[in-house]
């Protein structure tokens, strides 16, 4: 609902008058709120809502004058008082519902439908994706990276939004920090975008470029089966997920344990646990100086 209607006392009073009328006509409360908001919004655009608000105020003054003379007819006055009390309670309940709905509407106003701005390949994502209006106002950088996932895109195994993650990730990976380390990429997509599929696509692309060492950190070891499924769905079932079974990660130099490399799947709890193993000193040239580092 329009912010001015919500904040202007006269306009808000007109909105509640409309709402109460629909409730009095037998509408369910949720339907009355929704229909009253639509009617108030339309009258506000037409410039007639304020006149309705003034009429409502006049009606309230008239009702007050009538209430002053209720002693002439105690039975009628008692009935009117009960009716006004009921309407007031309904108005308060409707106000609470309207405020909750307004908050939801405000959330809708700050989000916009998301569509990759620089990706021309792939079909749209099957589920709606939104982003904040502030993010939507920022143009993403141009894409220069050439990927190796054409078969997956042609088979509709990756949406354009998922492919966008791969392109920007590797465009970032190709950069080096001042200390020689490879630059990183943060994926912060919400539920429904398919982060498992996105990570699997990044791993497959990494494998295609010669990389052989991947660390996948998750909340539970059981999710390794989902990781294998996501890789298999993209035709990368040959990429090993380590350890091969639901075993503990062996201690010591993992290069000697897994000489062919793979995806080392571990949990956050293991990552922060204390151990006695001392990693070897970093070689000259910085971390990841070799292929796939």
Q: b vs e for 23-49, b when ≥16 Cβ sit within 10 Å of the residue's Cβ?
A: beeebeeeebbbebbebbeebbeeeeb
Phi and psi angles of residue 77, each rounded to the nearest 5 degrees, phi first: -65, -40
Q: Where are the beta strands (DSSP E) in the chain?
A: 111-113, 130-132, 213-218, 241-242, 262-267
With respect to residue 283, please indicate whether it lies within any of the assigned structural domains: no
With respect to residue 200, please indicate whether it lies within any of the assigned structural domains: no
How far is it, in rounded angstroms, from Cα 279 to Cα 228?
A: 28
Average confidence (pLDDT) over 229-245: 94
pLDDT of 90 reads: 76
Transcribe 216-257 into DSSP letters. Answer: EEES-GGGHHHHHHHHHHTT-TTS-EESSSS-PPPSS-HHHH
**Overall pTM surpassing 0.75 (yes/no):** no
For 180, the domain range is 110-189
Looking at the fold, whether 91 and 8 belong to one and the same domain comes out as: yes
pLDDT at 112 over 70: yes
Considering only residues 48 and 288, tell me which one the structure prediction assigns the higher pLDDT: 48
Determine which of 107-121, 156-170, 189-203, 245-259 has the lowest per-residue pLDDT on average.
Answer: 245-259
With respect to residue 128, please indicate whether it lies within any of the assigned structural domains: yes
With respect to residue 27, please indicate whether it lies within any of the assigned structural domains: yes
With respect to residue 285, please indicate whether it lies within any of the assigned structural domains: no
**pLDDT band, residue 143 (cuts 50/70/90):** very high
Considering only residues 62 and 134, tell me which one the structure prediction assigns the higher pLDDT: 134
pLDDT of 287 reads: 44
Give the chain's domain count.
Answer: 3
Looking at the fold, whether 23 and 98 belong to one and the same domain comes out as: yes
Determine which of 65-69, 84-88, 218-222, 266-270 has the lowest per-residue pLDDT on average.
Answer: 65-69
Considering only residues 53 and 213, tell me which one the structure prediction assigns the higher pLDDT: 213
Looking at the fold, whether 94 and 30 belong to one and the same domain comes out as: yes
Looking at the fold, whether 183 and 102 belong to one and the same domain comes out as: no
With respect to residue 54, please indicate whether it lies within any of the assigned structural domains: yes
Looking at the fold, whether 91 and 10 belong to one and the same domain comes out as: yes
Average confidence (pLDDT) over 145-161: 98
pLDDT of 2 reads: 60
pLDDT of 290 reads: 42
With respect to residue 288, please indicate whether it lies within any of the assigned structural domains: no
Radius of gyration over every alpha carbon of the chain, rounded to an integer in angstroms: 31
Looking at the fold, whether 105 and 117 belong to one and the same domain comes out as: no
Looking at the fold, whether 184 and 259 belong to one and the same domain comes out as: no
pLDDT of 203 reads: 98
How far is it, in rounded angstroms, from Cα 85 to Cα 90?
A: 9
Looking at the fold, whether 96 and 51 belong to one and the same domain comes out as: yes
How far is it, in rounded angstroms, from Cα 241 to Cα 219?
A: 16
Looking at the fold, whether 162 and 226 belong to one and the same domain comes out as: no
Looking at the fold, whether 58 and 26 belong to one and the same domain comes out as: yes
Looking at the fold, whether 88 and 143 belong to one and the same domain comes out as: no
With respect to residue 60, please indicate whether it lies within any of the assigned structural domains: yes
Q: Tell me, what DSSP letter sits at residue 182?
A: B
Looking at the fold, whether 228 and 269 belong to one and the same domain comes out as: yes
pLDDT of 19 reads: 78
Would you give the distance in Å from CA 19 to the centre of its chain?
32
């Amino acid at each position: 609902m329009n912010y001015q209607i919500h904040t202007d006392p006269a306009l808000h009073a007109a909105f509640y008058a409309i709402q109460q009328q629909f409730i009095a006509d037998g509408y369910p409360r949720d339907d009355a709120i929704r229909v009253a908001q639509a009617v108030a919004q339309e009258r506000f655009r037409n410039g007639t809502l304020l006149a309705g608000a003034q009429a409502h105020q006049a009606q309230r003054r008239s009702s007050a004058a009538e209430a002053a003379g209720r002693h002439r007819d105690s039975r009628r006055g008692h009935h009117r008082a009960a009716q006004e009390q009921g309407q007031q309670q309904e108005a308060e309940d409707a106000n609470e519902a309207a405020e909750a709905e307004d908050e939801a509407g405000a959330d809708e106003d700050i989000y916009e439908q998301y569509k990759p701005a620089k990706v021309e390949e792939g079909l749209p994502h099957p589920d709606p994706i939104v982003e904040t209006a502030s993010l939507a106002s920022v143009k993403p950088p141009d894409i220069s990276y050439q990927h190796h996932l054409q078969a997956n895109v042609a088979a509709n195994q990756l949406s354009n939004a998922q492919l966008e993650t791969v392109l920007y990730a590797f465009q970032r990976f190709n950069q080096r920090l001042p200390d020689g380390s490879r630059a990183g990429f943060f994926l912060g997509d919400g539920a429904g975008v398919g982060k498992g599929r996105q990570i699997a696509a990044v791993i497959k692309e990494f494998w295609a470029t010669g990389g052989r060492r991947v660390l996948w950190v998750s909340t539970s070891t059981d999710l390794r089966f989902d990781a294998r499924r996501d890789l298999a769905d993209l035709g990368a079932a040959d990429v090993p997920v380590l350890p091969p079974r639901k075993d503990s990660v062996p201690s010591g130099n993992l290069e000697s344990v897994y000489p062919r490399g793979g995806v080392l799947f571990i949990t956050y709890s293991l990552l922060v646990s204390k151990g006695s193993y001392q990693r070897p000193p970093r070689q000259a040239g910085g971390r990841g100086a070799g292929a796939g580092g």
